[in-house]
């Protein structure tokens, strides 16, 4: 005998019922089938609501009854059932209407009447499905569960009389010749002959009773998912079904939100070690989840991660609790008297405080019960008033085999800590099957994804990028990410997603990742850019490993960095403004990054794609001390002076540098030396020195006329008019066989930038094209400097520098 139970979603409409019929036809070929069915999806709540309206003297109950009637008749019509079946449905629904009318008249909706009302859901669905199946399969019978399942008179949550129920079931099916027996779940009958219901999960319970009485080889629960998942697939996209799991693990997961199974109802099969198979009505070929005594021991220490939403945390503390027997007893009895369920308990070893978690709907009553119980101690100041914290949730890591593996809790809490998920309370049973933690509700999705990644995904890290700036560098970066995505995913175990993208005009978001093959079209159709909305959206998404990438030169964007760091959102910046602003602001950003466990990387601030800052950090962190720095830090200025000679004009070379993308749209930013001054400032600060921009001597090579304010065109005109000035600079250097280089120097706490003549024996002399070079003199590199040399400008290498920072964050 096979026992199958179909939930509300499986029989929600005609289309789904047809799927159930196909399953039952196929199953009946193997052996006789008992099919226990729930009410049409959501129908129990509708029946309840109509009764409450009638009880409240609200005649809208009639409209709700009409909708109940319409839904059942429409389902029957869509299934092709005849007038005889519809007449029976009408008759039963008219009986229901009379019951509602009686409730309306006497203004009383007792538990006994409630059971009678709610029973119509399962009774009608079983009637409809059985008639549909009879048209498809000979040997189909409908059996009213109330004739087999006998209970006490505890209406809405009746207790089953086990012996007589089991005897009834065995006696009936001993003589049954049906291929498929359809039965309504949830409903039963008291010893007095009145309709009762089995409470929450009642249809599961009905099926479990059948399987236990008949000692079935397996109980199949058919629902709308392909088994029990490693995490809620609606919140964790990478979650997958668990092939095999133990009873205890399944009950833990079900308690913490896995809705496919209600633990108390499967007790009859658990006692007899009858396996339970969770199957998907909409994917019947899917393997599903097998629940048995041992589970699959070689799966791994953690079987699943789940959560309970809508939790409030209540803390009772005070010196008057220390060493006083009976405090816990009084606390729990006070809550028990109010029928308040405690979800989690933790107590400090000092006995100074007890912390409990309850459903948020019970929090106010719990607070009042505790206050009343300890009113005397509170009045004396020996115990403080209970502290209630709302907006909490519980996450749980579950697995029978966790007790045999060290470090599970360490991995759990370190992973959460790295993503700034604050833990308010922790509980772990002696069985070590479950480690639970209370966190803020807003962090649930981030926490589940973080833990799922840690325990199930080959340590493949997910990076969620929010990129501002889609100019030359931004475009190249997006191209590089798209090109290297597969390599990062397969070789470095990094899943890099661009979740947010904006320019100065529009912005777009896609939590699943923006299509990088079509990002320009998507961005052009995006919402109007607004800095506040942009930041708030990132904050509300609250994704694990969120990274803000600034590819602008915008001061407003730079000034917003502290907001991101305070939300534990890492920053990768091409923008130099933040790190070259007042030292106090620079130091604050460093402090916030440490405090909120976020990274603040800005490698491209100095050498584009060159590892200048990273090398400097390694020197300092290893205990070396920087004594001096000499550098050519402007790829654009190096390009200009490498190409400027007596046969060219300075203006033409400057324009060519702009066309090649080596200078900013306003070349004065490069030619004024301000950009180089910012770079040497950043290097000095990263070397451990306190220094500001006004401390740097900037020796300009531009004539006074070119330093005057005005438009870019006016600046170009001044360069044309001052060509003799620039030719003089070139000739003076050439006569000495020197080359012109714009050099930054830092020595003995003093920094300066300016144009210098470089002799042939200097390392800077042969620096060609747009290359940069940095010489670090340190206590360890005192005679011969550590030299870094390479391309220091251009969109492609700058993008690669940003990409390098992204990969660095992912690997860490």
- Contacts of residue 717, defined as CB under 8 A and 6 or more positions apart, other chains included, come to none
Residues 259-277: b if buried by 16+ CB within 10 A, e if exposed = ebbbbebbebbbeeebbbb
Phi and psi at 611, nearest 5°, equal: -80, 60
Quote the CA–CA distance of 654 and 659 in Å, as a whole number: 9
Quote the CA–CA distance of 642 and 636 in Å, as a whole number: 10
Burial group, residue 84, by CB count within 10 angstroms (0-12, 13-18, 19+): exposed
Residues 519-540: b if buried by 16+ CB within 10 A, e if exposed = beebbeebeebebeebbebbee
Active site residue 679: yes
Helix (H) or strand (E) holding 783: none
Q: Where are the alpha helices (DSSP H) in 687-794?
A: 704-707, 712-721, 723-735
Helix (H) or strand (E) holding 603: none
Half-sphere exposure of 313 (CA within 13 A, CB side): 22
Phi and psi at 621, nearest 5°, equal: -65, -25
- Contacts of residue 395, defined as CB under 8 A and 6 or more positions apart, other chains included, come to 305, 306, 307, 436, 437, 439, 444, 447, 448, 451
Place of tokens 């133990």: 246
Instruction: Tell how far CA 409 is from the center of its chain.
Output: 20
The 8-class DSSP code of residue 355 comes to E
3-state secondary structure (DSSP) of residue 582: coil
Q: Extract the tokens encoding 793.
A: 């400008």
Strands 195-197 and 187-190: antiparallel
- CB atoms closer than 10 angstroms to residue 759: 13
Quote the CA–CA distance of 86 and 237 in Å, as a whole number: 43
Q: Are 289 and 225 in contact (CB under 8 A)?
A: no
Instruction: Tell how far CA 582 is from the center of its chain.
Output: 36
Choose, from 97, 116, 679, 770, the residue flagged as catalytic: 679
Instruction: Tell how far CA 48 is from the center of its chain.
Output: 35
Quote the CA–CA distance of 602 and 584 in Å, as a whole number: 17
Quote the CA–CA distance of 38 and 744 in Å, as a whole number: 78
Quote the CA–CA distance of 168 and 158 in Å, as a whole number: 17
Place of tokens 């607004």: 530
SS (H, E, C) 635-695: HHHHHHHHHCCCCCCHHHHHHHHHHCCCCCCCCHHHHCCHHHHHHHHHHHHHCCCCCCHHH
Residues taking part in catalysis = 679
């Amino acid at each position: 005998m096979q026992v199958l139970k179909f939930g509300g979603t499986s029989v929600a409409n005609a289309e789904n019922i047809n799927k159930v019929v196909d399953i039952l036809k196929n199953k009946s070929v193997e052996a006789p089938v008992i099919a226990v069915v729930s009410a049409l999806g959501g129908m129990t709540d509708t029946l309840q609501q109509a009764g409450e309206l009638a009880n409240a003297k609200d005649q809208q109950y009639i409209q709700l009854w009409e909708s109940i009637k319409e839904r059942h008749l429409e389902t029957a019509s869509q299934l092709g059932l005849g007038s005889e079946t519809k007449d029976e449905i009408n008759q039963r629904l008219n009986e229901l209407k009379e019951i509602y009318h009686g409730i309306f008249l006497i203004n009383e909706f007792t538990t006994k009447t409630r059971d009678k009302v709610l029973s119509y859901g399962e009774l009608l669905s079983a009637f409809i499905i059985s008639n549909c199946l009879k048209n498809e399969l000979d040997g189909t019978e409908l059996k009213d569960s109330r004739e087999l399942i006998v209970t006490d008179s505890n209406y809405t949550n009746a207790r089953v009389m086990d012996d007589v129920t089991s005897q009834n079931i065995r006696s009936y099916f001993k003589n049954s010749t049906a291929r498929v027996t359809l039965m309504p779940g949830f409903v039963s009958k008291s010893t007095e002959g009145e309709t009762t219901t089995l409470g929450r999960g009642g249809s599961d319970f009905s099926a479990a009773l059948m399987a236990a009485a008949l000692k079935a080889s397996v109980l199949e629960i058919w629902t709308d998912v392909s088994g029990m998942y490693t995490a809620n697939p609606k919140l964790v996209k990478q979650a997958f079904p668990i092939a095999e799991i133990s009873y205890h693990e399944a009950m833990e997961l079900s308690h913490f939100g896995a809705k496919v199974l209600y633990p108390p109802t499967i007790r009859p099969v658990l006692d007899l070690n009858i396996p339970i198979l969770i199957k998907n009505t909409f994917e019947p070929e899917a393997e599903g989840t097998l629940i048995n005594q041992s589970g699959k021991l070689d799966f791994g220490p953690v079987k699943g991660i789940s959560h309970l939403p809508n939790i409030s945390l209540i803390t009772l503390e005070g010196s008057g609790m220390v060493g006083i027997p009976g405090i816990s007893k009084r606390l729990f009895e006070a809550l028990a008297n109010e029928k308040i369920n405690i979800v989690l308990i933790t107590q400090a070893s000092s006995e100074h405080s007890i912390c409990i978690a309850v459903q948020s709907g019970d929090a106010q009553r719990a607070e009042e019960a505790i206050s009343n119980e300890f009113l005397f101690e509170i009045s004396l100041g020996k115990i403080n008033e209970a502290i209630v914290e709302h907006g909490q949730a519980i996450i749980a890591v579950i697995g029978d085999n966790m007790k045999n593996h060290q470090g599970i809790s360490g991995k759990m809490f370190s992973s959460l800590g790295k993503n700034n998920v604050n833990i308010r309370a922790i509980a772990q049973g002696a069985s070590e099957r479950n480690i639970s933690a209370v966190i803020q509700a807003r962090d649930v999705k981030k926490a589940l994804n973080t833990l799922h990644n840690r325990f199930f995904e080959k340590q493949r890290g997910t990076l969620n990028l929010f990129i501002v700036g889609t100019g030359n560098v931004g475009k190249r970066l997006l191209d590089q990410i798209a090109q290297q995505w597969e390599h990062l995913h397969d070789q470095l175990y990094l899943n890099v997603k661009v979740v947010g993208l904006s320019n100065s005009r529009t912005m777009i978001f896609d939590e699943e990742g923006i299509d990088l093959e079509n990002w320009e079209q998507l961005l052009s159709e995006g919402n109007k850019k607004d800095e506040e909305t942009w930041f708030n959206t990132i904050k509300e998404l609250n994704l694990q490993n969120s990274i803000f990438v600034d590819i602008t030169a915008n001061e407003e964007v730079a000034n917003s960095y502290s907001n991101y760091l305070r939300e534990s959102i890492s920053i990768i910046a091409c923008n130099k403004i933040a790190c070259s602003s007042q030292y106090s602001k620079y130091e604050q950003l460093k402090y916030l990054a440490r405090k909120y466990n976020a990274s603040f990387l800005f490698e491209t601030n100095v050498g584009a794609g060159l590892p200048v800052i990273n090398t400097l950090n390694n020197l300092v962190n290893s205990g070396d001390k920087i004594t001096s720095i000499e550098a050519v830090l402007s790829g654009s200025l190096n390009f200009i002076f490498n190409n400027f000679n007596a046969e060219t004009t300075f203006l033409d070379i400057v324009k060519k540098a702009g066309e090649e993308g080596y200078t900013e749209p306003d070349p004065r930013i490069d030619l004024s030396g301000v950009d180089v001054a910012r770079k040497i400032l950043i290097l000095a600060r990263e070397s451990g020195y306190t220094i500001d921009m006004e401390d740097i001597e900037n020796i300009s090579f531009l004539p006074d006329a070119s330093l005057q304010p005005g438009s870019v065109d006016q600046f170009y005109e001044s360069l044309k008019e001052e060509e003799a000035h620039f030719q003089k600079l070139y000739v003076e250097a050439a006569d000495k066989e020197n080359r012109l280089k714009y050099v930054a120097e830092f020595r003995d706490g003093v920094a300066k930038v300016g144009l210098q003549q470089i002799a042939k024996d200097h390392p800077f002399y042969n620096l060609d094209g747009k290359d940069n070079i940095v010489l670090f003199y340190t206590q360890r590199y005192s005679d011969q400097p550590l030299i870094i040399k390479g391309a220091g400008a251009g969109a492609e290498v700058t993008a690669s520098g940003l990409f390098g920072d992204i990969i660095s964050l992912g690997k860490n």
